[in-house]
Chains A and B, each alone.
Chain A
């Protein structure tokens, strides 16, 4: 009995397509004649190929013609159509991002400024401390120890109300009057207080005769005048740094440009 010829499916497949040489062709045909099982395998493969060749052809669901926008969006070039520049391509994406960054910087700048959003009170720290030296005729640096010393009430915290600050200013005004009186007193050579002005003022006060006692109505009238004077001289607007102003202007400018660019894109789409 002859052993079965080993004919692979690869050889059978090539045989179906007439893609084998003369020697292999003879070998396959000899095997097919000798082996009915091989004949069945061949028929099954032929049926598979015939089935595939009968696969229905489909209709394209739409026309796939290209538009200029499709090609340009994919980075291609079209004859007679200007290639979008770097800025044409990236500006619509960069503008909103830049606006957002400027907005964040603006908010940070506004929040971090001492006179910014965190302190919108009409009298600022600088203004408060300036009241005393101006009233005493001293540089601000020299008056600080005094403000922290016996004139503690003058160094009012930021949270004090306008009335409280007004009262502090009135006391300072009174001190000036006291000093003026002290300078007129015998035994006191100078009317200008030395560093550590509070002590000097106390000495002068001690040397001078006691001031005349004012009536309650007169003091009330003076209080109201001084308060009004302070209110007039000190504006109620917060001081914002030039950086914040610049960022604010840039924010408005970039916001407008972003809006225009976005509008242009939506019209183009």
Chain B
């Protein structure tokens, strides 16, 4: 889909054209679902949040006046995820073992690049470990690290999506990375060889 096609679809969707909006849904649904999954940490709730976010987006199409649809949509997705996180504040987070042993409907499916079963299992375990680490962060840190490090958004885009200043993006991101580094260092025997951290010098001070 070319940018010209997308702008036509956006214009049509702004006039209430549902099939045009659904073309945009098909283009962005994987991105939206992945962001929701990494923030919420649960595939079922992520699916619900993604669906809710698309409904909100369609209703709010009249308010979209920018040129870039992606950050606008991701803003709605992250806000919906915040609502879900607030609603489930009292629920305990999963343990690492739970995260690594998810089965059945709660087990997310990964894109298959044609790898063997061993590699697939390795990727699945890596994903579970990353997700468990992300789940240990607070809500604001989660959103920033998911957008910047997992989905590759720039600081400016992240600032626009989360409606925060660039300085706040930097500080939240650095705190999230430092916290995650510490968590993963404690469980680095679970990491694949190439991702294991260099030996930690306990004498060195860490300025966070």
Interface residues of A (CB under 8 A from B): 4, 6-14, 17, 19, 35-38, 40-41, 43-45, 47-66, 68, 70-71, 74-80
Contacts and interface: CB of A to CB of B under 8 A. Distances in A.
Chain B CB within 10 Å, residue with most, of A8, A36, A41: A41
B198 interface: yes
Contact of B181 (A35, A44, A53, A77): A44
Contacts, number: 165
Interface string B35-71: 0011000010001001100110011000000000000
Contacts of A4: 205
Nearest to B178: A9
Contact of A66 (B54, B126, B148): B54
A66 B199 contact: no
Contacts of B150: 52-53, 55
- Please tell me the size bucket of the interface on B: 35 or more
B201 A37 contact: yes
28 contacts: A8-B207, A9-B174, A13-B178, A14-B174, A37-B204, A38-B204, A40-B200, A44-B197, A47-B198, A49-B149, A52-B130, A52-B149, A54-B195, A55-B38, A58-B34, A58-B111, A58-B127, A61-B43, A61-B108, A61-B109, A65-B22, A66-B18, A66-B22, A66-B55, A71-B58, A75-B59, A79-B15, A79-B17
B162 interface: no
B21 to A, nearest CB: 7
Nearest to A42: B198
B59 A53 contact: no
A68 B19 CA distance: 10
B79 interface: no
Given A51-B191, A74-B55, A17 B155 contact: yes
Nearest to B56: A74
